[in-house]
Amino acid sequence: MDYQYTGKLYIEVNGERVIGPGRVELLERIKESGSIRQAAMQMNMSYRQAWQFIDHMNTNMGDPVVISVRGGKGGGKAEVTPKGLKVIGEFKVFYKKFHEFLEESSRQISL
Amino acid sequence: MDYQYTGKLYIEVNGERVIGPGRVELLERIKESGSIRQAAMQMNMSYRQAWQFIDHMNTNMGDPVVISVRGGKGGGKAEVTPKGLKVIGEFKVFYKKFHEFLEESSRQISL
């Protein structure tokens, strides 16, 4: 038998789950593409769903994590704010530590 | 803003999620009550759901974690096997470490 510890990591804000791996991936893809639509498509997510995630983060993180400039040449653009970049950086550091914890724990399983 | 890391921990067996906090609680309550029905009731879970969890663990953990003796005076009794006791002990140790990790990480959040 191959036993492995696995798990999930989130950041709660005032007791509400606001940040998780999917949302951080969304932020990273918006940062790279400059487009919520593109980022959503890459993740097989509807534009509407992506906007709901962003809206939830913008509302709950204290400062917006994504700002979007609608219209203009070539349609709207989206930008990850300094707060959003901080969220990405913060989460990735602890996600890495979390995975190290899971690997280390898995090596010690005795069942 | 109060930022907190939270998360979930599971044990996968051969790539399949088999053990989690709810199932470990179920095992502990069966151990204490000697009854699947009692344990299920205490957790607001249907007997059927509890049996499905137990069956899934029994099938996937290599050895059964719960054995039930049906019938007899006062109805069937259930017993957590040595394998089941090992699962409880193993998971609780790492769940505690996991929570220490989350607390330590939460103290270091800078957002």
A10/B15 CB distance under 8 A: no
Q: Which residues of chain A are within 8 Å of residue B65 when distances are taken between CB atoms?
A: none
Inter-residue contact A101 to A82 (CB < 8 Å)? no
| Interface membership of A9 toward B (CB under 8 Å) | yes
A84 contacts: CB under 8 Å, gap ≥ 6: A27, A31, A57, A64, A65, A66
ipTM value of the model? 0.89
What does pTM read for this prediction? 0.85
**Please, which residues 55-74 of chain A have a Cβ atom closer than 8 Å to chain B?**
61-62
CA distance B77 to B37: 9
Closest CA to A57 of A92, A17, A8, A9: A17
A98/B94 CB distance under 8 A: no
The type of residue at B59 is T
Closest CA to A93 of A11, A1, A34: A11
pLDDT band of residue B74 (cuts 50, 70, 90) is low
Question: Across the interface, which of B14, B62, B90 has its CB nearest the CB of A109?
Answer: B90
CA distance A63 to A57: 9
Q: What pLDDT score was predicted for residue B1?
A: 87
Residue spans per domain, chain B: 11-108
Q: Which residues of chain B are within 8 Å of residue A61 when distances are taken between CB atoms?
A: 1, 111
Name the DSSP class of B15.
T
Question: Across the interface, which of A5, A10, A13 has its CB nearest the CB of B11?
Answer: A5
Inter-residue contact A1 to A111 (CB < 8 Å)? yes
pLDDT band of residue A107 (cuts 50, 70, 90) is very high
Closest CA to A57 of A90, A102, A12: A12
Q: How many CB atoms lie within 10 A of CB B93?
A: 12
B13/A7 CB distance under 8 A: no
Judge whether residue A75 has pLDDT over 80.
no
DSSP A61-79: SSS-SEEEE-SSTTS-EEE
| Mean pLDDT, rounded, for A29-46 | 95
| CATH no. for B11-108 | 1.10.10.10
The type of residue at A71 is G
CA distance B61 to B12: 10
